[in-house]
Amino acid sequence: MSRFVDRADAGRQLAGALDSWRADPRALVLGLARGGVVVAAQVALALDAKFTVMVVRKLGLPGHPEVAMGAIGEGGVMVMDERTVSSAGVTPERFAEVRSREEVELARRVKLYRAGAPDVSIADAVALIVDDGIATGATARAACRVARAARAARVVLAAPVGARSAVGEVRGEADEVVVLVTAGGSFAVGEWYDDFDQTSDAEVLAWRDEVRRRHASSERGSGE
């Protein structure tokens, strides 16, 4: 049974659980591209926080790309799910092949999402990393490591929904984990949404620009 109408609805609900960071100058919302950006945009708007896009890529299991055997992030960060790799018999060569392919896409997205707008520094910020759901935890763990490498003062991982086992695993990577709904058994993020259509690059850029425009307007209005 779905809990959220769409990603925007999920983001508005998630923002309520992150209200302690409202208007905190240290708060920086990082939306995981692509689907997490829509959720994160609503969080950033509600909290009146700075916002940027973080790029992390799942490494899909050969033959079953929907299953994560790891993830990569900016700055050369990589997470490997050794249990999945071992049980599926993925060779080092096959793993490297998948990683190489995803590194190309990661680089493409980083270049696209950084273009036309100044980047926002993670150093010394409270990094509020937001995704649309946590299925295996691989991308979430990679995102936390990217934030750590960028010298975030505190790392908070937030999502509307997550698999109970995956949420448990990512707690070791973040200072705080905020998930509205956790579920056991067979888990698919899309089942918790009425509308879970794929997010496009154009939508990512539109939300990035809209949130930054509104935040800048708010800062000018407050005289900062």
pTM of the prediction?
0.92
Q: What is the pLDDT of residue 219?
A: 72
Query: What pLDDT was estimated at residue 115?
Result: 85
Q: What is the pLDDT of residue 67?
A: 87
Question: Given this model, what pLDDT does residue 117 score?
Answer: 72
Evaluate if residue 11 carries a pLDDT over 60.
yes
207-216 confidence digits (pLDDT tens): 999 999 998 8
What are the pLDDT digits (tens) for 129-142?
999 999 999 999 99
Q: What is the CATH number of domain 7-55+123-221?
A: 3.40.50.2020
Buried b (16+ CB within 10 A) or exposed e, 26-59: ebbbbbbbbbbbbbbbbbbbbbbbbbbbbbbbbb
Residue 222: the pLDDT is 65
Mean pLDDT to the nearest integer, 53-78:
93
φ and ψ at residue 21, rounded to 5 degrees:
-100, 10
Are the C-beta atoms of 28 and 126 separated by less than 8 Å?
A: yes
pLDDT over 70 for what percent of the chain? 97
pLDDT at 185: 78
Predicted pLDDT at 223: 57
Per the listing, tokens 């060569």 go with 93
Residue listed under structure tokens 């190489």: 100
Counting residues of the chain whose pLDDT is more than 90, the rounded percentage is 83
Q: Mean pLDDT throughout 109-115?
A: 92
End-to-end CA distance of the chain: 45
Average pLDDT estimate for 123-127? 97
The pLDDT score that the predictor gives to residue 2 is: 67
Mean pLDDT, the chain, whole residue set: 93
Rounded CA separation 14/43 (Å): 7
Q: What is the pLDDT of residue 54?
A: 95
Please tell me whether the peptide bond between 34 and the residue prior to it is cis, using omega within 30 degrees of 0. yes
Asked whether the predicted pLDDT for residue 1 surpasses 60, the reply is no
- The pLDDT value recorded for residue 20 is 95
Q: How far apart are the C-alpha atoms of 105 and 68, rounded to whole Å? A: 16
Lowest pLDDT segment from 45-59, 77-91, 114-128, 171-185 = 114-128
